């Protein structure tokens, strides 16, 4: 399972947790997941942050660039339902308003264990 991370407008708190999840302590890679450099190489998108107006079209294009079959994971409260940024002027919506979401990871930011759990659901290991 190769995963491409997309930052749609986050405060980077979720990115720090994702970094920890793929690091030595929590090690999501042992369940067969790997972060890759291009959506063309990926099977799943890991989207963090509320979708800002500037990132709405790029996020949709990134989703279209991933070959089928594909999945989308919304990480963090901002990605799920705009979190603390709901109603702000630069916000276009939550991730599910732009691309179809298959899995959500709640938390602000979610703990690395929750992210690893979500990855295990994707890989089935």
Partner 1 sequence: MNLVLGALLTALAVGALSAVAGLFLPRDVRPAVVGVGVAVSGASAVVAGAAAMTGQAAALVLPDLLPLAGVLVTVDALGGVFLAVTGGVAVAVGIYGIGYCRQHGLDARGVQAVLPLFVAAMMLVPVAASVGTFLLCWELMALTSLLLVIAEHRSRPAVAQAGRWYAVMTHLGMVAILIGLLVFAAHAVDGSFAALRLAAPGLSPAVAGLVFVATGIGFGSKAGIVPLHAWLPRAHPEAPSNVSALMSAAMVNLGVYGIVRVGFDLLGGARDGAAGWWWLLVLGLGAVSAIYGILQAAIGTNLKRLLGYSTTENMGLVLVGVGAAGMFATSGDVTLAGLAMAAALLHLVNHAAFKTLLFQSAGSVLAATGRRDLDDLGGLRAGMPGTTAAFGLGALAASALPPGAAFVSEWLLLQALIHGLPAAGVSAAIVMPLAVAAVALTAGLAVATFVKAFGIGFLARPRSPQAEHATESPASMLAGMGIAAAACIGLAVLPTLVLPTIGAVAGASVGATDPVQIDGMTIRLVGVAGALSPLMLTIALVVGLVAALAGVRVLATRRAARAARLWDCGAGPLSARMEYTATSFAEPLQRVFDDVVRAEQDVDVTHHDESRYLVQLVEYRRRVPDRIERKLYEPVLAVMAAWGRAGRRLAPGSVHRYLGYGFYALCGLLIVLVVTR
Partner 2 sequence: MGILLQLLIVVGLSPLLTGMMRQIRARLEGRAGAGIGQPWRDLRKLMRKRPIAPHGTTEVFRIAPLVLVATCLVVAAAAPFVTTASVLDPVADLFAVVALLTLGTVALALAGIDTGTAFGGMGASREATIIALVEPTLLVAIFALSVPVGSTNLGAIVTSTLNDPAQVFSPVSLLAAVALIVVIVAETGRLPVDNPSTHLELTMVHEAMVLEYSGPDLAMVELASSMRLTVFLGLLANLFLPWGIATTGQPLLVAAAVLAFVVKVALLGACLAVGEVFLAKLRLFRVPELLAGSFVLGLLAVGASFFLA
* Contact positions vs partner 1 (CB under 8 A): 38-40, 57-59, 61-62, 64-65, 67-68
Q: Nearer to partner 2 by C-beta: 57 or 84?
A: 57
7 makes contact with partner 2 (CB under 8 A): no
Residue 69: cis peptide before it, omega within 30 degrees of 0: yes
Output Rg (C-alpha) for the chain, integer angstroms.
13
> Under the criterion CB under 8 A, does residue 121 sit at the interface with partner 2?
no
The entry of partner 1, partner 2, none that residue 62 binds, CB within 5 to 8 Å by partner kind:
partner 1
Report, in Å, the least distance between residue 2 CB and partner 2. Answer: 7
């Amino acid at each position: 399972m190769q995963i491409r991370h997309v930052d749609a407008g986050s405060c980077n708190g979720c990115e720090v947790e994702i970094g920890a999840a793929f690091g030595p302590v929590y090690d999501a890679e042992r369940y067969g997941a790997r972060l890759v450099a291009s959506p063309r190489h990926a099977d799943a998108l890991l989207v963090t942050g509320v979708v800002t107006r500037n990132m709405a079209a790029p996020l949709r294009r990134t989703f279209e660039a991933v070959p089928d079959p594909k999945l989308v994971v919304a990480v963090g409260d901002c990605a799920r339902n705009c979190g603390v940024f709901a109603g702000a002027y630069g916000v276009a919506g939550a991730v599910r308003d732009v691309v179809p979401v298959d899995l959500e990871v709640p938390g602000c930011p979610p703990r690395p264990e929750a992210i690893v759990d979500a990855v295990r659901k994707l890989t089935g290991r």
